[in-house]
Chains A and B, each alone.
Chain A
């Protein structure tokens, strides 16, 4: 089942903040966040794990509410380079060997000067 993202689109001025939400109808073990620039491949931003652990390499923060099956991505003091489409992904389990991700439809973020 595809996670639901909101809002669908956001326009910001440089320096402003934004929050992107992701919700699922089923219990989650982890939530993944990716950003895609136009015409390019999605790039990994962050993984949030049940229990509060986070794995990421960019200065973007996120939260994961396990009980509500929701995650939020926080973009503070936005820069022009933050523009792109943000996707959250939730896992589809496949035995003990691994899993795949179901992605939401994405949130388009445009940061203007």
Chain B
């Protein structure tokens, strides 16, 4: 069966520090991968999605970036965090086509 791992579960970082969140999927190949952010009162905001290695699409301009160095690995990064980057970050995967998204357990990021 397929599983998705996301870490860390919680993170407290000062403003201006870098960020790296990692997500890996097991038990499938060539998944579509997604990063979403959930801030209070704003629902689930799509940040990035990827259909293959090196193929990243961004939905919202921001100081975040994403990379997909391997087929089942998706990384969210920032060089300098802002207070507004605080939120609950969720990684998700789908097998492609019209199919459900499967979410990881999320990372709660607090920027202080």
Q: Chain A interface (Cβ within 8 Å of chain B)?
A: 2, 29-30, 32, 34, 40-44, 47, 49, 55, 87, 89, 91-92, 94-95, 97-106
Residue of A nearest to B102 (CB): A44
Q: A42-B103, A95-B51 are in contact. List 12 more A-B contacts (CB 8 A).
A: A29-B98, A32-B100, A41-B105, A42-B44, A42-B101, A47-B98, A92-B59, A98-B94, A100-B46, A100-B59, A102-B46, A103-B43
27 contacts between A and B (CB under 8 A): A2-B43, A29-B98, A30-B98, A40-B106, A41-B90, A41-B103, A41-B104, A42-B44, A42-B103, A44-B100, A89-B44, A91-B98, A94-B51, A97-B52, A97-B96, A98-B32, A98-B49, A98-B94, A98-B96, A100-B32, A100-B57, A100-B59, A101-B46, A101-B101, A103-B46, A104-B43, A106-B43
**Option from A55, A92, A98 in Cβ contact (under 8 Å) with B51:** A98
Alpha-carbon distance A55/B101, docked complex (angstroms): 13
Alpha-carbon distance A56/B31, docked complex (angstroms): 20
For chain B, which range describes its interface: under 10, 10 to 19, 20 to 34, or 35 or more residues? 20 to 34
Give the Cβ gap from B61 to chain A, nearest Cβ, in Å.
Answer: 16
Which chain A residues border B100 with CB–CB below 8 Å? 32, 44, 47, 55
Which chain B residues border A91 with CB–CB below 8 Å? 98
Which chain B residues border A97 with CB–CB below 8 Å? 32, 51-52, 96
Give the Cβ gap from B90 to chain A, nearest Cβ, in Å.
Answer: 6
Residue of A nearest to B49 (CB): A100
Which chain B residues border A55 with CB–CB below 8 Å? 100
Alpha-carbon distance A30/B99, docked complex (angstroms): 10
**Residue B34 at the A interface, CB < 8 A?**
yes
